């Protein structure tokens, strides 16, 4: 048995040059206390847990929907200019680059009674997404000479970055043997935020058709471009660690949000669950700067008047007049008014089917059929994940398989299809070494032999101290 | 005892996994230094200067210029900008003229540095036309390196037109223009 186990572990762990993870790997995995962060209505185990400070939840995730580092910088003899041209041609303004990092600073959970479990903690999060500004990359790479009549659109510029700390308190309540529900209140403390969203307008060069007095009509049409920032001045000058600490502890802009979730245990085999996370917003009120340019202008060039000048008289300041006209037509303002930004709301859905014998270490039989559903050795299922991003809702579909190999070792593997990749294999290993709960998860395993070819990569790690029920 | 061995086994599996990962997960077959030699080569078209001088302006005796001559100057600050000087490798100037007056003109376009030194000159003659049959003329002046440096050292453009013979009393002389810059912007 020991050799069979070793073989299976080896096969799963080293299926491909190993390791990868995604939050879909933790979702619904009761053995990891952090699964309650993904579904406050998930199944809580044990009497209590305490995350090892700053080590209980480390999550890093990055990716690009349209290209990999290899696509960009392969050492295959092809001229880099050809490769960049190809990427600009193939990518669309819906392609994106994203980076997310989370660090649990404090994470605790404790059971009030058989039916109620509380969680609380603080975590820090950095989230960044930028869409590929196709039109402006095209303009920078090729220029406008071969793009007459083509409108270079400002809505291709779309990016957002948030650095915040989150204070949270959640309740997980078992209603009956089938239903478990939960909710979490979150207090957001935005440390730094920047975004350029909902831009509009365009710039077009076309041959004049009477609408311009010069050869071209170069039309900046109905432009409205803005960059919103908050918290930037906190990082100007000499920034000390106490400045960062105070910004992280209620020193930033505040916001409120909630997570809700539920699990329905249909029978011992079938389980369904759902959660919606980060329904909330941050009010950016202090240290806010919004840079905004709006208006329209027909760029005709400089018109000369040929005035009759006396000796010593200078020609009119045409260039200054030209600049002033542009500044008047498309003023660039700096605004200091507060603004509200919704958090990127996320949704998880899952259905799973358990089979096989009972999991190692669990009760052998739920013989009366009235107690809690008992844990089975294997589980397969489907998970759906969605997150609202500036231009669209991004989704992922995961097929997963959970295997409880030993009393203290659980593995979950996933095959995820999302905007980054259709061949994303992930694996998480969870182990209880006495009261110490350790998990390590990663995804995009197939590309670990050469991360340059990965469209994305993510890793998640945590250590908790779990107290079992008496 | 079994528990002890199991624990040892798990620790070894995880340690081995991390070890293997750290060894095999890598970024290879890529070369980011290649971008040091990569050039952005956009070709940018911009409107430049346009004007129309009515015939009576050539007969204006009030100015400092001789009768029959008009002249005007404008700053073109972006031309002598260090970034422009560094990246422009070729500039194609397109001038389109339309003459509805009955006079030929000697036309001079000077590119002048901010210190007043002429760095590049284009001279041409615009032939006479009539109100009903305008004379139309297009000049394409392609300037490549190293001569293009004469252009990018300029911060001013001065244009003068001189009527040959008796200045006209009707019609106008008109010019529109654009420039096509060929840029090379280094990745370094």
CATH 3.30.1330 assigned to domain A2-132+160-192+234-284+343-467? The reply is: no
Determine how many CB atoms are found less than 10 A away from the CB of residue B187.
13
Query: What's the CA angle centered on A366, arms A116 and A409, to 5 degrees?
Result: 75
Q: What is the pLDDT of residue B25?
A: 59
CA-wise closest residue to A102 among A69, A55, A66: A55
CB neighbour burial string for A103-134, b if at least 16 within 10 angstroms, e if fewer: bbbebbbbbeeeeebbbebbbbbbbbbbbbbb
Q: What is the pLDDT of residue B65?
A: 79
pLDDT beyond 80 at A366: no
Interface check A350 vs B, CB under 8 A:
no
Helix (H) or strand (E) holding B19: helix B2-24
Q: How confident is the model at residue B188 (pLDDT cuts 50, 70, 90)?
A: low
CA A96/CA A110 separation, integer angstroms: 40
Tell me which of A1-5, A440-444, B112-116 is least confident: A1-5
CA A135/CA A133 separation, integer angstroms: 6
Output A453 or B103, whichever has higher pLDDT: B103
Report CB contact under 8 Å: B45, A205: yes
ipTM here: 0.84
Q: How confident is the model at residue A329 (pLDDT cuts 50, 70, 90)?
A: very high
Q: Mind listing the domains of chain B with CATH numbers?
A: 37-186 (2.60.120)
Average pLDDT rounded to a whole number, residues A173-189: 95
CA-wise closest residue to A421 among A38, A12, A68: A68
Q: What is the pLDDT of residue B82?
A: 82
Q: What are phi and psi of A449, to 5 degrees?
A: -70, -25
What percentage of chain B carries pLDDT values higher than 90?
Answer: 56
pLDDT beyond 60 at A468: yes
Tell me which of A327-331, A374-378, B69-73 is least confident: A374-378
Q: How confident is the model at residue A12 (pLDDT cuts 50, 70, 90)?
A: very low
Interface check A146 vs B, CB under 8 A:
yes
The pLDDT tens digits for A431-444 are 988 899 999 998 88
* Strand ranges inside B100-168, DSSP E: 105-112, 118-126, 135-144, 156-163
Q: What is the pLDDT of residue A293?
A: 96
Instruction: Label the pairing between strands B135-144 and A456-467.
Output: unpaired
Q: What is the pLDDT of residue A284?
A: 95
Decide if B38 contacts A84 (C-beta within 8 A).
Answer: yes
Which A residues, 218 through 257, put their C-beta within 8 Å of a C-beta on chain B?
A: 218
Output A339 or B9, whichever has higher pLDDT: A339
- Name the 3-class secondary structure at B163: strand
Q: What is the mean pLDDT of chain A?
A: 87
Interface test with A, best of B33, B40, B45 (most A CBs within 10 A): B45
Please state the domain extents for chain A: 2-132+160-192+234-284+343-467
CA A81/CA B166 separation, integer angstroms: 57
Which of A14, A306, A310 is the closest to B70 by Cβ?
A306
Question: CB burial class (10 A; 0-12, 13-18, 19+) of residue A405?
Answer: buried
CA A217/CA B94 separation, integer angstroms: 15
What percentage of chain A carries pLDDT values higher than 70?
Answer: 93
Report CB contact under 8 Å: B51, A306: yes
* Strand ranges inside A39-95, DSSP E: 48-51, 58-64
Interface test with B, best of A2, A203, A213, A302 (most B CBs within 10 A): A302
Q: What is the pLDDT of residue B186?
A: 79
Output A252 or A419, whichever has higher pLDDT: A252
The pLDDT tens digits for A60-76 are 888 888 777 777 777 77
Return the C-alpha torsion angle A360, A365, A371, A372, nearest 10: 30
CA A163/CA A144 separation, integer angstroms: 37
Which A residues, 407 through 466, put their C-beta within 8 Å of a C-beta on chain B?
A: 407-409, 429, 431, 433-434, 438, 440, 442, 448-453
Interface check A80 vs B, CB under 8 A:
yes
Which of B11, B24, B47 is the closest to A17 by Cβ?
B24
Query: CA separation (Å) from A321 to A217, A327, B53?
Result: 19, 10, 20
């Amino acid at each position: 048995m020991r050799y069979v186990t070793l073989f299976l572990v080896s096969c799963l762990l080293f299926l491909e040059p190993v390791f990868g993870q995604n939050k879909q790997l933790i979702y619904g995995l009761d053995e990891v206390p952090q699964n309650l962060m993904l579904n406050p209505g998930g199944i809580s185990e044990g009497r209590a847990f305490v995350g090892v400070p700053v080590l209980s939840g480390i999550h890093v995730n990055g990716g690009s929907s349209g290209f990999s580092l290899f696509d960009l910088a392969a050492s295959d003899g092809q001229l880099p200019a050809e490769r960049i041209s190809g990427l600009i041609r193939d990518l669309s303004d819906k392609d994106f680059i994203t980076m997310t990092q989370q660090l649990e600073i404090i994470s605790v959970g404790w059971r009030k009674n058989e039916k109620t479990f509380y969680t609380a903690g603080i975590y820090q999060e950095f989230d960044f997404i930028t869409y590929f500004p196709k039109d402006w990359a095209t303009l920078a790479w090729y220029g406008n000479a071969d793009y007459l009549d083509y409108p270079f659109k400002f809505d291709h510029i779309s990016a957002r970055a948030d650095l915040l700390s989150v204070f949270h308190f959640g309740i997980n309540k078992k209603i009956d043997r089938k239903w478990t529900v939960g909710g979490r209140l979150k207090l957001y403390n935005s440390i730094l935020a920047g975004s350029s969203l909902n831009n509009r307008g365009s710039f077009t060069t076309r041959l004049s058709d009477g609408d311009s007095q010069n050869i071209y009509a170069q039309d900046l049409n109905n432009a409205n471009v803005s960059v919103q920032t908050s918290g930037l001045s906190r990082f100007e000058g000499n920034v000390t660690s106490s400045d960062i600490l105070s910004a992280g502890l209620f020193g930033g802009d505040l916001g409120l949000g909630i997570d809700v979730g539920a699990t329905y245990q249909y029978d011992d085999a079938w389980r369904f669950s759902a959660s919606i996370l980060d329904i909330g917003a941050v009010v950016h009120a202090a240290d806010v700067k919004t840079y905004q340019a709006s208006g329209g202008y027909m760029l005709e060039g400089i018109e000369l008047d040929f005035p009759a000048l006396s000796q010593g008289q200078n020609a009119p300041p045409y260039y200054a007049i030209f600049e002033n006209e542009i500044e008047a037509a498309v003023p660039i303002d700096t605004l200091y008014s507060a603004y509200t930004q919704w958090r990127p709301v996320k949704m998880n859905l899952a259905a799973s089917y358990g089979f096989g014998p009972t999991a190692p270490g669990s009760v052998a039989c739920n013989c009366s059929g009235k107690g809690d559903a008992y844990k089975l050795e294997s589980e397969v299922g489907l998970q759906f994940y969605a997150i609202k991003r500036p231009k669209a809702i991004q989704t992922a579909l995961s097929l997963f398989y959970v295997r409880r190999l030993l009393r203290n070792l659980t593995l979950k593997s996933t095959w995820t299809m999302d905007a980054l990749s259709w061949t994303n294999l992930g694996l998480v290993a969870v182990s209880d070494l006495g009261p110490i709960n350790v998990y390590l998860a990663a995804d995009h395993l197939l590309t670990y032999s050469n991360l340059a070819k990965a469209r994305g990569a993510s890793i998640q790690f945590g250590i908790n101290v779990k107290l079992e029920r008496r | 005892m079994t528990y002890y061995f199991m624990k040892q086994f798990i620790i070894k599996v995880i340690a081995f996994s991390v070890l293997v990962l750290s060894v095999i997960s890598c970024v290879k077959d890529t070369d980011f230094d290649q971008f040091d030699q990569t050039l952005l080569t956009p070709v940018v078209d911009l409107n430049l200067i346009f004007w129309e001088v009515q015939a009576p302006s050539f007969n204006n005796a009030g100015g400092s210029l001789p009768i029959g001559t008009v002249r005007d100057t404008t700053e073109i600050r972006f031309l002598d900008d260090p970034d422009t000087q560094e990246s422009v490798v070729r500039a194609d100037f397109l001038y389109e003229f339309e003459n509805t007056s009955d006079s030929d003109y000697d036309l001079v376009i000077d590119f002048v540095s901010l210190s007043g030194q002429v760095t590049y000159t284009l001279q041409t003659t615009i032939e006479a036309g009539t109100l009903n049959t305008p004379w139309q003329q297009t000049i394409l002046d392609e300037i490549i390196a190293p001569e293009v440096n004469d252009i990018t050292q300029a911060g001013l453009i001065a244009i003068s037109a001189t009527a040959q013979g008796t200045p006209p009393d009707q019609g106008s002389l008109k010019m529109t223009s654009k420039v096509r810059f060929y840029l090379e912007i280094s990745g370094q």
